[in-house]
Chain A
Amino acid sequence: MKTDPAGVLTGVHYLDGDFACGEGAMAAGCRFVAGYPITPSTEVVERISARFPMIGGTFIQMEDELASMAAVVGASWTGTKSMTVTSGPGFSLMMENIGLAAMMETPCVVVNVQRGGPSTGLPTMVGQGDMMQARWGSHGDYELIAMSPQSPQEAFNLTIDAFNLSETYRVPVMFMMDECVGHMTEKVVIPPADEIEVVPRRLTDKKPADFLPYRLDGAIVPEFARAGDGYRFHTTGLTHDERGYPVMSVECQEWNVHHLMDKIRLNAEQIVRVEEEQVEGAEVVVIAYGITARVTRTAIDMARRDGLKVGFLRLIVVWPFPERRIRELAGRVKAFVVPEINYGQISLEVERCAAGRAATRHVPHGGGGVHDPSSIYNAIVGAVK
């Protein structure tokens, strides 16, 4: 369905990635945001707190990131689309209630504008070191979705997609920006509201007596009842059955957690999104995401000028990982080159999928800046040999 025009600032703008992400959230119909100030993400909520009063939204600056994430999960159970925004240290605090959102199957979006870590690290400078934390950060087994934009325009577009995916699969979606994209100012085109498709909450039309909050009935996710609609349902972070009641048993754990995994794993091919360029016939494929994808283009141009056959695969959805595609390519290429602003995270995933059939060369960067394209170029040249 089409979005609420109230939140859509149609026009051509000159925005940084943080502002564009905030505009994307409002265009997607987000009307509740809870957050705690943290560099370099705060501009997202500054934009939202300036515009929300005019579009019927509520922003609240909570006392910490634990509370921010808990409030987002609570608000989402009213059916109001909800989001929080943070960076590394706050992302760590949010892990507790990201797990709750996963367990309760609560649609919501968590924006992480990544900076250098660990700990307080480099508050004002770029990093991509939270990619594995996004996937594995909360305890126990669960699946979720993570995306990574490379530009302010994409920050706008993908934030809408993040909300839509969170509704379709009833998962928290990690929106993994980085400081460079967050603070980069570029042209952003916001289309008219009637061109923006949004996925509505899958509200049940069953009578309260017939409704069970976690009954699947063959669907990907259960139907949803909002708090206040008379269903008087129960939900919990404990292992629960289809009534939403705690059941402490091996069988219920298997039923409950298996579903959390399956709803993403069995639909991974629908969720996965990559952008490919000259991959066919390539000897080496460079895999990158976020700001590093843009630096990579320069390195690839350099290599192609040398006559090297280099393909480019950009991860737009990072989790679930495009396993099938990497496996296919591993049988055809000599090597994957994986530059990222960390000491080896997504490169490990590439290596796992390549399973020894193609080499994987990681190009590390400790954070605080982007790669010198020549470091990626050198890795490409080395991989071709």
Chain B
Amino acid sequence: MSAVTSRSEIPVPEHPIAPFLRMDRIPHIWCPTCGIGTVVKCFATALEGSALDLDKVAIVSGIGCTGRVAGYMKLDAFHTTHGRAIPFATGLKLGRPELQVTVFSGDGDLSGIGGNHFIHAARRNIDLMVVLVNNFIYAMTGGQNAPTTPLTARSSTMPYGNFEYPFNLPRLAATCGATYVARWTCLHIRRLTKSFSEALHRKGFRFIEVITPCATLYSRLNRLGTGLDLMRFYHDHAEIRHGADLRDLEIAFQDRIVCGKFLDEERPTFSEMKDAHYGKVLGDRYRPMPPEGGWIHA
């Protein structure tokens, strides 16, 4: 074999986000044209530019397609139970306050089975960044109806079309007390990455919803074509309206998707409220949890 044709000598540049991934777990399990990988790419890109100490960044996922994200990120990573990513992350954050904790999970996990945790973590303003990947359906289990499935859209448990009202998630998050609220589709990679970058440097309950195509189930059950067709749909139907009225963010079946940053404000977090309050009422007697965690005795 001549040196010219020897493949081993052709340098293969490392993918720029490879250092953020568990490359020994690639290829991933997501379907062709699934949008989750794009969201991961945007998140990793934001981390790369964030100057955060990655040793102090943890990621927590629940169950489902997006629930697999934690498993691919080269961070302290927790793949937990269905719906419980937020309370698990709450324990992680309060147990070691110096950690920067991101929750990465799907619409069914965070707003269905985990809905109660979602609203209370937002109310308490727990210092978590919550990324909710919304594909309008329970995809891992075969396309069942979700709390986000648009009216009239078909799912495997609403075979004649959905008649339940879906959540308007940005409005829910904002109403419950989130301090940063944005929505993008996975077509908006530059804007989504910017939102991640911004939110990584904010405090409190930060919520970013990302609409993604599920070609295998949502699109097939609703005859919407390929993943590429859905991306084209986002291109034609996404309306970027920063600061839009939260009531205008409902998503109807195959209708416009209002995207943008809707809320970006400061409000003391759970831990800041705790420290300030106890400092005031207990004075010198108050001993806050050390940034590195409770008494470790090592």
Q: List A residues at the B interface (Cβ < 8 Å).
A: 1, 3-4, 6-7, 29-32, 34, 53-58, 60, 62-64, 66-68, 70-82, 96-97, 99-100, 198, 200-201, 203, 226-238, 245-246
Contact A230 B55, beta carbon cutoff 8 Å = yes
Contact A74 B87, beta carbon cutoff 8 Å = yes
B80, B270, B296: which contacts A79 (Cβ < 8 A)?
B296
Contact B55 A57, beta carbon cutoff 8 Å = no
- 0/1 string, B87-120, CB within 8 A of A gives 1: 1111111111011000000000000000011001
Residue of B nearest to A54 (CB): B285
23 A-B pairs within 8 Å (CB atoms) are namely A4-B295, A34-B90, A34-B91, A54-B287, A56-B288, A62-B120, A66-B87, A70-B84, A70-B117, A71-B87, A74-B60, A75-B95, A78-B95, A79-B294, A82-B91, A198-B297, A200-B298, A227-B78, A228-B55, A228-B76, A232-B75, A236-B78, A245-B24
Contact A57 B99, beta carbon cutoff 8 Å = no
A79 to B96, CA, bound (A): 8
A52 to B240, CA, bound (A): 47
Residues in B whose Cβ lies below 8 Å from that of A54: 282, 285-287
**Interface residue? B71 (CB, 8 A):** yes
B83, B274, B297: which contacts A1 (Cβ < 8 A)?
B297
Residue of B nearest to A62 (CB): B87
Within the complex, the shortest CB–CB distance from A335 to chain B, in Å, comes to 44
Within the complex, the shortest CB–CB distance from A66 to chain B, in Å, comes to 6
Contact A71 B91, beta carbon cutoff 8 Å = yes
A230 to B270, CA, bound (A): 26
Residues in A whose Cβ lies below 8 Å from that of B266: none
A30 to B84, CA, bound (A): 22
Residues in A whose Cβ lies below 8 Å from that of B75: 232
Contact A201 B78, beta carbon cutoff 8 Å = no
Within the complex, the shortest CB–CB distance from B17 to chain A, in Å, comes to 15
**Interface residue? B167 (CB, 8 A):** no
A274 to B11, CA, bound (A): 67
Contact A238 B88, beta carbon cutoff 8 Å = no
Within the complex, the shortest CB–CB distance from A138 to chain B, in Å, comes to 10
Known: A31-B294, A53-B286, A234-B22. A66 touches B84 (CB 8 A): yes
Contact B71 A67, beta carbon cutoff 8 Å = no
Contact B91 A75, beta carbon cutoff 8 Å = yes
A365 to B34, CA, bound (A): 58
Residues in B whose Cβ lies below 8 Å from that of A53: 278, 282, 285-287
Contact A100 B96, beta carbon cutoff 8 Å = no
Known: A56-B290, A78-B95, A227-B96. A234 touches B87 (CB 8 A): no
**Interface residue? B175 (CB, 8 A):** no
A80 to B295, CA, bound (A): 7
Contact A231 B76, beta carbon cutoff 8 Å = yes
Known: A80-B296, A97-B84, A245-B71. A227 touches B278 (CB 8 A): no
Residues in A whose Cβ lies below 8 Å from that of B289: 31, 56-58, 80
Within the complex, the shortest CB–CB distance from B163 to chain A, in Å, comes to 29
A238 to B81, CA, bound (A): 9
A1 to B87, CA, bound (A): 31
Known: A53-B282, A234-B70. A32 touches B294 (CB 8 A): yes
Residue of A nearest to B29 (CB): A246
Contact B58 A246, beta carbon cutoff 8 Å = no
Residue of A nearest to B89 (CB): A74
B78, B98, B117, B292: which contacts A77 (Cβ < 8 A)?
B78
**Interface residue? B56 (CB, 8 A):** yes
**Interface residue? B54 (CB, 8 A):** yes
**Interface residue? B293 (CB, 8 A):** yes
A198 to B25, CA, bound (A): 38
Known: A54-B285, A227-B76. A32 touches B88 (CB 8 A): no
Contact B95 A80, beta carbon cutoff 8 Å = yes
Within the complex, the shortest CB–CB distance from A72 to chain B, in Å, comes to 6
B60, B81, B298: which contacts A100 (Cβ < 8 A)?
B81
Residues in B whose Cβ lies below 8 Å from that of A237: 79-81
Contact A77 B95, beta carbon cutoff 8 Å = yes
Residues in A whose Cβ lies below 8 Å from that of B246: none
Within the complex, the shortest CB–CB distance from A71 to chain B, in Å, comes to 3
Contact B95 A76, beta carbon cutoff 8 Å = yes
Contact B92 A227, beta carbon cutoff 8 Å = yes
Contact B294 A81, beta carbon cutoff 8 Å = yes
**Interface residue? B256 (CB, 8 A):** no
Identify 11 new A-B residue pairs, CB closer than 8 A, beyond the known A228-B99, A245-B22.
Answer: A53-B285, A63-B87, A67-B117, A77-B76, A77-B95, A79-B95, A79-B294, A80-B95, A96-B84, A227-B76, A232-B55
A52 to B130, CA, bound (A): 28
Contact A232 B54, beta carbon cutoff 8 Å = yes
Residues in A whose Cβ lies below 8 Å from that of B238: none
A1, A96, A233: which contacts B76 (Cβ < 8 A)?
A233
Contact B55 A229, beta carbon cutoff 8 Å = yes
Residues in A whose Cβ lies below 8 Å from that of B251: none
- 0/1 string, B60-90, CB within 8 A of A gives 1: 1000000000110011111111011011111
